[in-house]
Amino acid sequence: MKSIAEIEEAIIADFSFLDDWADKYNLLMDLGKELSPFPDEFKTEQYRIQGCQSKVWLKSHLSQDKKVVLEADSDALISKGLVALLVKVLNNQTPEDILHAPLNFIKEIGLDSHLSPNRANGLASMLKQIRMEAKVYAQQTASAQ
């Protein structure tokens, strides 16, 4: 299993070939299409991330080997691409690694404008939600030991 930093490097490399903003957004939307199908039954308020102008759903669980498994979807292509990026980097990592990852790749690939505190931009909310869930798993794991 690759580390978060290794996956980030690979994503930065993919994006660095692209000079044009349109190609970057096309790649982002392609990443969204690679997400595993998200069952409609979970597209509910319970799994919806607040703070995005589009609808974004996130569902997670802790696997047998104590890794955080992430599933996500969105009704907008760009939001789906953004959440897919986070899933690609953070899926199947330990709660601690997720909590401590600085995630510099967002800035490196030029998508940091999506982290602005405007409520229309959901990337910050997505990241906050994933970290919140990772924190719960980290506490569960710690208290079980």
Measured distance CA(69)–CA(110) in Å, rounded: 26
The reply to whether 118 belongs to the active site is: no
Q: Name which of 55 and 59 has its Cβ closer to another protein.
A: 55
Give the shortest CB-43-to-another protein separation in angstroms.
Answer: 13
Tokens representing 39?
A: 């069952």
Least separation in angstroms between CB 79 and another protein: 6
Choice between 12 and 29, CB closer to another protein:
29
Q: Which of 52, 90, 123, 126 is catalytic?
A: 52
Q: Which of residues 115-144 bind another protein (CB under 8 A)?
A: 120
Please state the closest distance from residue 130 (CB atom) to another protein, in A. 20
> Within 44-103, which residues bind another protein (CB under 8 A)?
53-55, 75-79
Binding site for another protein (CB under 8 A): 21-22, 25-26, 29, 53-55, 75-79, 120
Catalytic residues: 52
